[in-house]
């Protein structure tokens, strides 16, 4: 892999204005967590929301006017969990009402997408992020590689591969991380998220968004080695400016060395 196949992306988080100008100028692409935050932005932008396509309020909650005022190259979202309505308990979804099969989830996602696709900026790519599995019942069937292969194919969207999410899923289901890698159709992957999860915790692994360490960068290298087309890489750690700067320094060094 050459450097051009991995593009470091800096999130515009609460820490953004604490970075030096020299650090920010190393990046060509920036990621936002809400559509309204990207309005009037002049540089290459990605927008990621935790809203799900099967949420009945998805269309109402997206600020499409804000998206049209900025060069948004990709907008990504969730598709699961396997309930139309959920409540959040300890940062995990618990379903309300009838449970949906993964086919019903994709059917509902397709209906929503058919309504909103034309409202995104011209040329804006759409993508779904891999969801992490928790044993609440709300994640059944919608966290596996096969589900995302089918989702990308049926909905014609790209994939955001979150390494921590897949590690949490693998740990909570007792399956090897490599199984997901081997089953996934990598032609759909457009973006990679990197952070360190907490795997050894009572009640199962959690997506804690800790600073990536050597193990995470080793897994990232394995992921990037499967790519044949350019992919954006976002480090999803937000707590410490020095930690963020150091993590991105490792990323720049790594992608410059991978061949």
Res 259: pLDDT: 36
CA distance linking residue 99 with residue 150, whole number of Å: 19
Give the CATH number for residue 190: 3.20.20.150
Domain count within the chain: 1
HEC per residue, 27-45: CCEEEECCHHHHCCCCCEE
Q: Where are the beta strands (DSSP E) in 97-188?
A: 125-129, 158-162
Please write the tens of the pLDDT for every residue from 19-43.
Answer: 999 999 999 999 999 898 999 999 9
Closest by CA position to 215, among listed 202, 239, 229, 199? 199
pLDDT at residue 3 greater than cutoff 60? no
Please write the tens of the pLDDT for every residue from 168-227.
Answer: 999 999 999 999 999 999 999 999 999 999 997 777 999 999 999 999 999 999 999 999
Q: Categorize the per-residue pLDDT at 257 as very low, low, confident or very high, splitting at 50, 70 and 90.
A: low
Decide: pTM greater than 0.75: yes
Range of the domain at 244: 3-257
């Amino acid at each position: 892999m050459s450097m051009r196949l991995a593009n470091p992306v800096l999130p515009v988080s609460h820490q953004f204005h604490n970075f030096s100008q020299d650090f920010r100028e190393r990046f060509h692409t920036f990621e936002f967590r809400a559509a309204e935050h990207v309005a009037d932005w002049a540089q290459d932008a990605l927008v990621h929301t935790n809203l799900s396509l099967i949420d009945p309020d998805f269309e109402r909650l997206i600020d499409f006017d804000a998206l049209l005022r900025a060069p948004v190259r990709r907008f990504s979202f969730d598709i699961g969990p396997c309930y139309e309505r959920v409540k959040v308990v300890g940062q995990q979804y618990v379903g309300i009402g009838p449970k949906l099969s993964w086919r019903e989830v994709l059917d509902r996602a397709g209906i929503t997408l058919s309504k909103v696709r034309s409202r995104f900026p011209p040329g804006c790519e759409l993508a779904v992020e891999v969801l992490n599995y928790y044993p609440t019942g709300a994640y059944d069937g919608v966290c596996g590689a096969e589900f995302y292969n089918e989702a990308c194919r049926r909905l014609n969207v790209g994939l955001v591969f979150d390494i921590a999410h897949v590690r949490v899923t693998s740990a909570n289901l007792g399956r090897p991380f490599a199984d997901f890698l081997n089953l996934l159709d990598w032609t759909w992957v457009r973006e990679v998220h990197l952070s360190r999860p907490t795997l050894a915790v009572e009640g199962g692994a959690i997506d804690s968004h800790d600073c990536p360490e050597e193990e995470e960068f080793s897994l990232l290298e394995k992921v990037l080695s499967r790519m044949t087309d350019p992919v954006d890489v976002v480090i999803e750690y937000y707590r410490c400016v020095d930690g963020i700067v150091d993590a991105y320094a490792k990323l720049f060094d790594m992608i410059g060395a991978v061949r």
